[in-house]
Amino acid sequence: MTGSEREVLAAKFSRILPLLNERERRVLLGAEAWALGHGGIRTVARTAGVSEATVSQGVRELGLRTGVDPGRARRAGAGRRRRTEEDPGILPALSALLEPEGEGPSPSPLRWSVKSTRELTAELGEQGHVLSADTVAKLLREQGFLLQGPRSAYGGKRREGRHERFRAINDLVLAFETSGDPVVHLRARRRILEPSEGTGPQDSNDRCEPSSDEHSVSSALATLRMWWTSHRSRRPRGERLLIVVDSGEPHDDANGIWEERIRHLGRRFGVRVSSTHLPLGIFRWRESGEGLRTRFLQYWPDGRSVAYETGIRPVSPSRALDPRSTDIAHTVSSDDE
């Protein structure tokens, strides 16, 4: 898909998706992905600002995987068996390596690991489960885990510090839930868009990175305001709001801007707003309500552009956050540098 075609599709989504309910959005996205053929799910997900799982579910609801999809050489299921089918014990063994250990009947809000996928692979191998680090990473992503940070960042002397920080954040979220105060998870990413044959910007997948500069702070705060005001009639209850950011520690200059602006945001919302940053590692939140995704574009004179992408998802239970919040993509363009 060319850059101009992607822009047309993004404009279409930005106008139609807000008018549809959750299932209608999934079905529309699924139909678009199926029509594009091979790679359509990923293309539609990135253009609409939703997860690939959401688009895949839309395809399934349409019943479009009963035959051979465009771009496939074989019917689904006709290829090699999945590693988890050959060894059903892999997933339970992998889950046992994650924190907190031995989850009880009440799941923890957060599950995590400060180990690398190579280290997890080695430990699984010691238990007789032979597979590659890439397969472990794929299995984790399929279960909703986010793998944050370069491989070299997972080891080292600061591992225990990251583990304790994950645990402290988990305890903090539990405290907010106990008092009925809402918690949201915020992801900030910067994606470089390259010109494609002179037709416009196109995603460069290997240049998407966590972002914590001034522009990402501004886009994150704008997304928070959208999320808050778009649910004015069913606003989260509570006197406090906790924002958990997964982009790592912000730069010193951006950190001051962020702290100052969230205090101002709290006064505007009428609640006490606080934030904390997740360390590098592998983590997953307990399932909760749908969220909001935005993309702010900044164009450069050389034809390239930068997309500041922000995602917000409630991680508190329904008694603290209204479960009817939706996953809507907003595309906002800016010519400012």
Whether 314 and 191 map to the same domain: the answer is yes
Residues 136 and 184 in one domain: no
pLDDT of 68 reads 41
Q: Answer with the one of 94, 115, 147 that is the final residue of a domain.
A: 147
Q: How far apart are CA 9 and CA 88, in angstroms?
A: 40
On the question of a cis peptide bond just before residue 100, with omega within 30 degrees of 0, the verdict is: yes
Cross-strand bridge partners of residue 188: 310
Residues 196 and 329 in one domain: yes
Q: Identify whether 241 is part of a domain.
A: yes
Residues 203 and 253 in one domain: yes
Please indicate, yes or no, whether residues 55 and 87 belong to a single structural domain of this protein.
Answer: no
Per-residue pLDDT of the chain (337 residues; tens, 9 = 90+): 677 788 888 888 888 888 888 888 888 998 998 888 888 898 898 888 888 888 888 888 887 543 444 444 444 555 566 777 888 899 999 999 998 875 655 678 999 999 999 999 999 999 999 899 999 999 999 888 988 765 445 555 577 788 999 999 999 999 998 888 888 899 888 888 776 533 344 444 434 455 667 777 888 888 888 888 775 545 555 688 899 987 555 444 566 778 888 888 888 888 899 999 898 899 998 866 667 888 888 887 877 788 888 888 888 654 434 433 333 333 433 333 3
Question: Which pLDDT does position 333 carry in this prediction?
Answer: 38
CA–CA gap between residue 54 and residue 196 (Å, rounded) = 27
Q: Distance between CA 62 and CA 72 in Å, rounded?
A: 18
Residue 70's identity, in one-letter code, is: P
pLDDT value for 155? 52
Residue ranges making up the domain that contains 8? 3-62
Query: What is the predicted pLDDT for the residue at 93?
Result: 93
Max Cα-Cα span within the chain: 58
Return the number of other C-beta atoms located less than 10 Å from residue 244's C-beta.
Answer: 24
User: In terms of domains, do 128 and 181 share one?
Assistant: no
Burial 43-58 (b: 16+ CB within 10 A, else e): bbbbbbbbeeebbbbb
**Model pLDDT, residue 22:** 83
Instruction: Let me know whether 307 and 215 are in one domain.
Output: yes
Q: Is 200 in the same domain as 303?
A: yes
List, as one string, the DSSP characters of 32-82.
Answer: HHHHH-TTHHHHHHHHHT--HHHHHHHHHHHTTTSSPPTT-SS-TT-SPPP
329 shares a domain with 234 = yes
Tell me the CA distances in angstroms from 132 to 119, 142, 292, 307, one per residue in order. Answer: 11, 15, 34, 33
Task: Answer yes or no: do 52 and 92 share one domain.
Answer: no
Q: Assess if residue 156 is contained within a domain.
A: no
Asked whether residue 158 is assigned to any structural domain, the reply reads no
Given this model, what pLDDT does residue 114 score?
92
Query: Would 69 be classed as within a structural domain?
Result: no
Is residue 159, in this structure, part of any structural domain at all?
no
Specify the number of domains making up the chain: 3
Is residue 44 a part of any domain in this protein? yes
Q: Is residue 330 part of a domain?
A: yes
311 and 188 co-located in one domain: yes
Q: Residues 285, 329: one domain?
A: yes
**SS3 call for 138:** helix
Instruction: Give the list of residues 6+ apart from residue 239 with CB closer than 8 angstroms, or none.
Output: 181, 271, 272
